[in-house]
Every structure is written in C-alpha cells, then in structure tokens.
Amino acid sequence: MDYKKLLADTVIIEGIESEEIMSQIVPSRDKAHGDYSLPCFRLAKAAGKNPAELAKEVVGRIGCYNFLEKAEAAGPFVNFTLNKQSYAKDVLEKVLSAGEYYGNSDIGRGKTVCIDYSSVNIAKPFHIGHLLNTVLGAALYRLHKKAGYNTVGINHLGDWGTQFGKLIVAYKLWGDDKDIEKRGVRSLVDIYVKFHKEAEKNPVLDDEARAWFKKIEDGDEEALSIFNRFKKSTLEEVEKIYKRLNVTFDSYAGESFYNDKMQPVLDLLTQKGLLVDDNGAKIVRLGDDMPPCLLVRSDGATLYATRDLAAAFYRKKTYNFDKCLYVVASQQNLHFRQWFKVLELAGEEWYKDLYHVAHGMVSLEEGSLSTRSGNVVYLDDVLNMAVSKSREIIKEKSEDLPNPDEVAEQIGVGAVIFGVLYNNRIKDMTFSYSRALNFDGETGPYVQYTQARCRSLLEKCSYPDCDPDYSGVAGEEAGEVLKLLDSYPDVILSAVEKYEPCYLSRFLVDLSQAFGKFYLACNIAKSPDAVRKARLMLVKAVRGVLADGLSLLGIQSPEKM
C-alpha cells in the first residue's frame, strides 16, 4: 500500500493537487513525531497562507481512516501516525507477495542505459585500484535492471597505445614463454617494469617500442600475434576475478575496436569548423573556462579523447541509449568535461545524456600504485587475504560449519565489495581487513550474518497454520523494521538516481540493526501461534530484502554462518 498517496488523499488544500501534496510527505526522522510528516512551507506559499495556520487547517479537515491512528499539527508540520497493526499487515503482505521482485520499478521501462566500467588494461595487473571502478559499475548495472532499464554493461578494454610496443620489445629481449604460461600477467608486468628501467639507460628502446606499435597499427602479422597472446592471457586471468566478484559484461569493445571509427568523427568536427590546426596537432577550442581538447598529436597519433568520442557515437548508433554512464575515477574529470563539450559544440543533443560517475581511489596501507615502478597490490591477493582471514574467523565461531571454504569465499569477497560500497563513491578510502571483516560492525559480514540468522529462525520455528495476529509486530522495535522494509523501493530509486550504491549498503546495515533489536525484544519461538506467524512473516520479509539487497551489490548470502 502506498501510504504517501493515501495520506496525500486525506489532505485537502484548495487549489493544490494531491500529487503536489504527496511530493512533500516524508517519513518522520523522529519516531516521536509519528510515521510520516508533511512540511507545509511550500504548500502554504502556494496557498498564500501561514505554514502553521495551514497545518492546523489540514488536521481539522482530516476524517477517520482505518489506516490512520492520528494526525497532529506541530507548528508548520502535520505529523501522521499510522495504525500499527494495519500498517504491519499491509507492509508484510506487500513484501512477501512480491518476493524477489519487491523493490522492482518501471521507471526505466523502454529506456536503455549503457554503463562503461572496469575497463582493465591488457597485459597489466588487475590491482586494488580497479576495485571500486569495477564493483561500483556492476552495482549500478544491477540497480538499473532492478529499476526496469534495458542495461548494457561495457568493458572498454585498454588495448591500444605505445605501451604494447614497449611490451613486445621487452618480450623479445627478456620474455620467457614458460613463465608467461605459468604466471600470466604477473610475468608480463615484470618484463614491462624491466623495460622502463633499461630504457632510462638506453633511450633507443623507446624508439624500438614506437616502431613495434606502428607495426600493430599496420596489421603486421608477428606484432598482432604477440599482442593477441597478451590479450588472451589477460582476459583469461581477469575473468577469474570477475567471476569471484559476480561481475559480467555485455560488451568487451575496447580502444582497438574504435581504431577505424575515429576518422569519421574527425571529419565531422572538421566539417563543422571545430577541429583546427595547432602547430601540427588537431584540437577543438572549448572556450575560456577549459583547455582545448587535443584529438590528434603533431605526429598523427590519436588520444583517449578521440577514441572516447568514436565510442560515444558508436554506442548512440548501436544502442540508442537514453543515458550513458562512465564509471571512472575523479582524476579524469577534466577529460570528460572536455570531450562532452566537444559533442555539445558539434550540436549533438544527446551529449546531455552522458554522465561521468566519478569516484575516489581505494588503497591499502602499502601506498600508491604504479605498474611502471612495480609497486602493485594485486586484487586477487587482496581477495585471497580476505577469504583467508574470514576462514580463520568462522573456524572460531562455527567449527561444525559443513562448507567452510565456500562460506569463507562468500564472506571474504563480500566483505571487500561491501567495504568499498559503504561510503559515498567520491571519497578516497584505505581498505582495512579488520574493519571490513568485523561481524558486529557496519559491514558485509554483519548483513550476511543477519540474513543467515533469519534463515535459521525460519528453519527452526514452525510456521503455524492460522491467521497472523499483527499485534505481535505492532511494537516499537517491529515498527522500525517495518518502516525500513516499506522504504526499500525508495532506497533503490535513490541509489539509481544518484548513482550511489552506498544508499543501499547503508540501508542494509540499518535494517540488520533494526532486526537485531526486534529479535532481542520479541520472543519468536515461544510466542502464541498467531503472534508467532506474524513475527515469522517479518523474519521472512527481512531475509528476502537483505538477500536481494546483497545480490544487487554483487554479494552472496550464505545459508549458514
């Protein structure tokens, strides 16, 4: 039942539509002020009245309704208190009847969103710096699907540039096929790091690298053969990590895919008089508030911006998206502002549908990351460490757990994902194993444990064959749980609209904490049949919402912990 709509329909303000009133009704922050509140400031201005006087008028006109216990004026606010048993019945029936579809919406019906995320580099390690980009994009992908969008996940592979010429030179000088076969990308990183050290002493190596990349561009058979081996080895390795993180893509079209699609874009910009010569380079001037966008170097080489423009045109033509999200670190803010502006100047109205979903950086105490210097924290090492630590914890807590390795994987990987999706995406963060794996804190394991406890309760307590007595879930603790369950669809929409999965992760912690208080306050197993049934309905609803929310973040729900 949509209580905001029901409450709005009870309010009569001359000249103001019910939809406008409903838009102003919000859940009360303080339970002493009831369940919902209507601030009258904006409505009073539209009605030409004093807000406090309007609040009194509204209360005086409200009749008797089964779902409403009382309405009170408190200064410029109208506070509504719902009938607890009626509310409990409506919320639980709504959640349980919808099942896994609870929280789904159709705001994205008929609309397509492309989401560009992860974008790993070929022959470079999948390190901790890729973590937030990857799990944030994957969460937004699932959240948009939940909201009804046709969603296209794109891994814009970094598979173009002179670094591949450097790698081929390094491979020919120091490469070991057996070591590459055994250690994959890590072996390639070692020789790539060695190349840079040697190139500092012998600059000729850089010339050789440029020559080999030119061979790749020209389709040289040997160069492409070596490059494709690097690409195959990288994708095989990262796919294992994607599987652990529950991440999938619909497209792996990377930079090389757009190599033959850049010239038409450059021609279009030339025809529009935007692409101009600047000492042999080709640029688009963007006005006084932004540096020009460099699209072609003086040596004829293209840049990231050139390929991003070509990719945007391709995606618009191929998918006809309603919006296209670029999940990329905030350090690239200027880059996106520049080429978005190029599209605007070119008269492409759909530039307004492009969004840079900026995020901060994730690091460990080891410090900054640089493939060139070799100071790299591999993501699979981070996941393995989290799983190892979680295995130690569950061994202490549950010695008789039937599948400890499987559960340790679910908890460890889940802790890493939840740990970086709990905060606002724009914030930099230092990942802490002890904090992320705390079973009693604002963490993934805490939410997973609450879900597992709900599952255990449902297995142990018999489900009575009688009508539920909703007085058993009409108390204060149950009321907080019900309000949170009722708000789940709004939380999903907020996460989608703001591109912030942290709204969901924090909600899951709030729901887990509220359930913990309910569990301590209300005896379930020994309560009368009808009361027990209502309480088990609440337990079942909580378990379902926690499991669904975790899955949207890419986290599995262990059956036992």
* Residue 33 appears among annotated catalytic residues: no
Q: Rounded to whole angstroms, how far apart are CA atoms 414 and 420? A: 10
Asked if 490 and 553 touch (Cβ cutoff 8 Å), the reply is no
* Residue 124 appears among annotated catalytic residues: yes
Q: Rounded to whole angstroms, how far apart are CA atoms 394 and 314? A: 49
Q: What angle do CA 546, 551, 554 make, to 5 degrees?
A: 135
**What residues pair up with 81 in beta bridges, in sequence order?**
70
Residues with Cβ < 8 Å from 34, sequence gap 6 or more?
A: 28, 70, 72, 79, 80, 81, 82
Work out the number of other CB atoms within 10 angstroms of the CB of residue 282. Answer: 21
Asked if 415 and 443 touch (Cβ cutoff 8 Å), the reply is yes
* Residue 356 appears among annotated catalytic residues: no
Which among 84, 89, 124, 215 is annotated as catalytic? 124
Chain centre to alpha carbon of residue 302: 31
Asked if 476 and 485 touch (Cβ cutoff 8 Å), the reply is no
Which among 89, 130, 166, 282 is annotated as catalytic? 130
- Beta strand 354-359 with 275-278 is unpaired
Residues with Cβ < 8 Å from 449, sequence gap 6 or more?
A: 439, 561
Distance spanning both ends of the chain, measured CA to CA: 34
Asked if 537 and 472 touch (Cβ cutoff 8 Å), the reply is no
E-strand spans in 279-405?
A: 281-284, 293-296, 323-329, 354-359, 362-363
Which of 106, 503, 504, 17 is closest to 5 using CA atoms?
Answer: 17
Torsion sign across C-alpha atoms 95, 98, 100, 101: negative
Tokens encoding 106: 């159709």
**What residues pair up with 355 in beta bridges, in sequence order?**
325
What is the rounded radius of gyration, in angstroms, for the C-alpha atoms of the chain?
A: 28
Q: Which DSSP category does 191 fall into?
A: H
Residues with Cβ < 8 Å from 105, sequence gap 6 or more?
A: 146, 147, 148, 489, 492, 493
Asked if 482 and 87 touch (Cβ cutoff 8 Å), the reply is yes
Which among 4, 84, 89, 127 is annotated as catalytic? 127
Cα–Cα separations (whole angstroms), residue 373 to 329, 368, 376, 381? 21, 11, 8, 18
Asked if 449 and 394 touch (Cβ cutoff 8 Å), the reply is no
Q: Which DSSP category does 73 fall into?
A: E
Which residues form the catalytic set?
124, 127, 130
